[in-house]
Amino acid sequence: MLRKRLLGAVVVRQGWAVQSFGYRRWLPLGKPQCLVENLDRWGADGIVVLSTDRGDHGPDLELIERLGALGLSTPLTYGGGLSTEEHARAAVRAGAERLVLDAVLSHNPVAVGAMASAVGVQALVAALPMVQSATGEVLHLQHRTGAQSELATSIRKLIAAEQVSEVLVIDAAGEGEGQGFNPALLEAVEAQTSLPLLAFGGLARAEQIRPLLSRPQLAGVMVGNALNYCEHAIGHLKAGLTDQPLRPHRQSSSV
């Protein structure tokens, strides 16, 4: 039976791995490769590296190669600056297993189909930062511009046509605060697609993660800042979630 995943997020900004707070504030943590190698050793179900400041400069291939050279035995997903078929090819060639697409969904959704042909739909994850307005409406946040709007038709079509294999729903307001993930955001996306979903933003404790994992459509959760405050953070979270269909945590020992 397919397990749900507990993924470790590494947010990268100006070459630094950072703690991210609502896409607005950042505090440095250290070298991305140190965090990634650590998540690998801890036994995270996957490592997701998000380069937040690529703009129009394409993916950070040098970073992906550097991480690939670490000899990780955990699947590596990369997001940031991916907007063309060539970007996608290059990122996979450089060592990324899967790719997270964000800005391109809004700016050039047509490119997603080409990327899917190039690297396979199962390599693509669509990231949707979402916020809930004061009136309760769930809106899509384009974090480059700050614009909040209903999910664009082009994006809805893309998801309906299953040109990506998973949707990463991001609680943009809660991100970094460790106060939990707003389930209304998942409800809104579940209404649009039957693709498997991932949730990221505000998750710090097992009891915040548990209700999300019990949603049938949820394939996994991503934790960011909270993984940096203590040793064996992945193990502690999994120890609090043994009733959930996660891959069991094992004390790593030499092969």
Partner 1 sequence: MSSGRLTVGIVDYGVGNHTSVLRCVRQLGFRARISPQPDQLDQADVLLLPGVGAFPTAMERLHATGLVGYLQRAAQLGRPLIGICLGMQLLAESSTELGFTPGLGLIPGAVEAIGEPRWHIGWNSLEVADGQPLLHASDGEVMYFNHSYAFRGPEAFVAARSRVREGSEPLVAAIQRGSVWGLQFHPEKSQVPGLRLLEHLIRAEGER
Partner 2 sequence: MSTAPVQFCKRCLYTTNHPLGLVLDAEGICSGCRVHEEKDRLDWTERWQQLEQLVKPYRSRDSRNYDCIVPVSGAGDSFFIVHLVKERLGLKPLLVTYNRYYNTPLGIRNLAQLRRRFDCDILIQSVNPLSVKKIIRTTLRELGSFHWPVLAGQSVLPVQTAVSHQVPLIIWGAHQGVEQVGMFSHLHKVEMTRRYRKDHDLMGYEADDLLSVFDSLTEADIWQYRYPDEAALEQVGVRGIYLGNFVRWDPWAQHQQMVKQAGFASARMNRTFDIFDHVDDWHYMDMHDWIKNQKHGYGRVVDQACREIRHGRISREDAAAQAKFYQALLPKHQTLLLEWLGLEESGFNFLIRQFVCHASEIKVAPNTIEAALPRHLFASEPGITLDTNTADRPVTIGKGYPDWFIPSIT
Where do contacts with partner 2 occur on this chain (CB under 8 A)? 14-16, 18, 26-31, 33-35, 38, 41-42, 228-232, 235, 251-254
Nearest distance from residue 242's CB to partner 2, in Å?
Answer: 15
- Where would I find the H helices in 43-134? 61-68, 85-94, 103-107, 110-119
Stretch that binds partner 1, among 31-39, 103-111, 145-153, 158-166 (CB under 8 A): 158-166
* Residue 216 contact among partner 1, partner 2, none, beta carbon within 5 to 8 Å by kind: none
Q: Which helix (H) or strand (E) holds 207?
A: helix 206-213
CA–CA separation, 83 vs 51, rounded Å? 13
- What are the Cα distances from residue 197, in Å, to 59, 151, 180, 185? 23, 16, 17, 11
* Residue 231 contact among partner 2, partner 1, none, beta carbon within 5 to 8 Å by kind: partner 2
Please count the other Cβ atoms lying within 10 Å of the Cβ belonging to residue 99: 21
Nearest distance from residue 228's CB to partner 2, in Å?
Answer: 8
Q: Which residues 165-184 are close enough to bind partner 1 by CB under 8 A?
A: 165-166
CA–CA separation, 251 vs 255, rounded Å? 12
Question: Which positions touch partner 1 (CB under 8 A)?
Answer: 1-5, 40, 43, 45, 68-75, 92-95, 97-98, 119-123, 162, 165-166, 196, 219-220, 247-248, 250, 252-253, 255
